[in-house]
Amino acid sequence: MTDPHDQAGEIRSYTMNFGPQHPAAHGVLRLVMEMEGETIVRIDPHVGLLHRGTEKLAESKPFNHSIGYMDRLDYVSMMCNEHAYVRAIEQLMGIEPPERAQWIRTLFDEVTRILNHLMWVGSNALDLGAMAVFLYAFREREELMDCYEAVSGARMHATYYRPGGVYRDLPARMIEYKESPWHKGKDLKRMNAWREGSMLDFLDAFAEDFQHKVDEYEELLTDNRIWKQRTVDIGIVSPEQAMALGMSGPMLRASGIEWDLRKKQPYAKYAEVDFEIPVGTRGDCYDRYLVRMAEMRQSALIIRQCVDWLRKNPGPVMVENYKVAPPKREDMKESMEALIHWFKLFTEGFSVPAGETYAAVEAPKGEFGCYLVSDGANKPFRVHLRAPGFAHLSSINEITAGHMLPDVVAMIGTYDLVFGEVDR
């Protein structure tokens, strides 16, 4: 604070610093706030503290090497970021992944959406003073992270989607908890109850049960007086504002605009699954909460439809194009050409035809887009990643001016910010 009182002891507007190290800043956000008492006059966010130059790094590496960087952008909705990037490459190359791969992508996009929204509801509730939701949400997050691990070997940074499909088919067995001094006997049996079959069986059981889990979170929050006092009529965004300020995803839908890329510009297999778009009416923090809760329920429904299809339809999960995908191990033992392809693919990568494209997916936070310019080389000429959080945060001054200081925390929470994607 700089000199809040003048000689007469009268309070004037002062400037306050918030962050970059603050538990409610969701990472590294610094806000310089001009305040009149406890009321916000102007907010100037300082971002970029997590800037790693992902887009420039991608220019120096073959296309496939950068998939892992995408996980690290929005590190709570990893596979959706990968999806935008691989889709951009696929569009430029004119390849289409096999049907099963597209269903797997749909499945994991929705798993990711639940992962993200769980993280969001937990941390947002924590910001506003409710501890328990966080613990409940992380219980389910753990189960879904195990699915990530089962398909890719990594709990978070999966690098599972590849141009032309996905890295490998779904595992036949779900990973189980091992016996330990803390988990044994009945306890262990309960924890492994869903895990005796394949990963699809596990996800099916999870998605069926998940509706009750969402009921539990809603029990804690939806009619909670404190929660409503903190969120109802806070940070109202009008539909016109939402469009003009570049908002997307739940931020846009809570303001009453029925816009979801999964429906409007379908990709993967979203045109073939049945789901609804939850829409808000008032555009306040409470509506955004309701929209995200309803989205989790819809995601669970989509997961069950994907599981159903994937159970019935085995098949390849990667294109049979050796310029893009490695040949089978056994082919390499026999075929000289397969060996050459393998070698060229892993030493040089693949060249993408010259051109430019913009591929967008409905990531949990909003529209995550990848603008890719290729000049025909094995490395991208320019990658620009359109992160929903960047556009959302840029509106904070317009939305929160006139609010109280604690409402800024509610607003940061409802933006669902992750600085990996804002700063890139």
Taking the least distance from each CB to other proteins, the nearer of 214 and 247 is 247
CA–CA distance, 79 with 101 (Å, rounded to integer): 13
In the block, which residue shows the tokens 């030493």? Answer: 347
Least gap, CB of 56 to other proteins (angstroms):
5
Closest to other proteins by CB, 11 or 354: 354
Complex with other proteins: residue 66 or 152, whichever CB lies closer: 66
Q: How far is the CB of 37 from other proteins (least distance, A)?
A: 25
Between 180 and 347, whose beta carbon lies closer to other proteins? 347
CA distance 297 to 63: 35
Is the CB of 97 or the CB of 122 nearer to other proteins?
Answer: 97
Crossing angle of helices 99-127 and 199-221, in 10° steps, is 30
Count of beta carbons in the 10 Å neighbourhood of residue 375: 14
Stated as kind and residue range, the H or E segment containing 65 is none
Least Å from the CB of residue 59 to other proteins: 7
Residue 323 C-beta: closest distance to other proteins, Å: 7
Q: Which is nearer to other proteins, 119 or 338 (CB)?
A: 338
Between 228 and 384, name the residue whose CB sits nearer to other proteins.
Answer: 384
- Quote the tokens at residue 347: 């030493």
* C-beta closer to other proteins: residue 48 or 314: 48
Q: Is the Cα torsion angle 24, 29, 33, 39 positive or negative in sign?
A: negative
What is the closest distance, in whole angstroms, from the C-beta atom of residue 353 to other proteins in the complex? 4
Q: How far is the CB of 242 from other proteins (least distance, A)?
A: 9
- How far apart CA 292 and CA 106 sit, in angstroms, is 18
Closest contact distance (angstroms) between CB of 254 and other proteins is 15
Q: Half-sphere exposure (CA, 13 Å, Cβ side) for 344?
A: 14
Closest to 303 in 3D by CA, of 215, 212, 202: 202
**Which residues contribute to the site for other proteins (CB under 8 A)?**
47-48, 51, 53, 55-57, 59-62, 65, 91-95, 243-246, 248, 257, 259, 264-265, 323, 347-349, 351, 353-360, 367, 369, 371, 373, 375-379, 381-382, 384, 386, 390-391, 393-395, 398, 423-424
Sequence-separated contacts (24+) of 243-247 with Cβ below 8 Å: 245/391, 245/394, 245/395, 245/398, 246/391, 246/392, 246/394, 246/395, 247/366, 247/388, 247/391, 247/392, 247/395
**Residue whose pair of structure tokens reads 């310019």 in the numeric block:** 373
Nearest to 101 by CA among 352, 405, 349, 314: 314
Shortest distance in whole angstroms from residue 177 CB to other proteins: 40
**Residue 200 carries which side chain, given as an amino acid letter?**
L
Closer by beta carbon to other proteins, 98 or else 355: 355
Q: Looking at beta carbons only, is 130 or 360 nearer to other proteins? A: 360
Beta strands in 134-194 (DSSP E): 161-162, 165-166
**Least Å distance between CB 346 and other proteins?**
10
Q: Which of 97, 211, 189, 207 has its CA nearest to residue 144?
A: 207
CB within 8 A of 103, min separation 6: which ones? 268, 269, 306, 309, 310, 313
- Rounded CA gap, 287 and 280, in Å? 5
Tell the smallest beta-carbon distance from residue 73 to other proteins (Å): 13
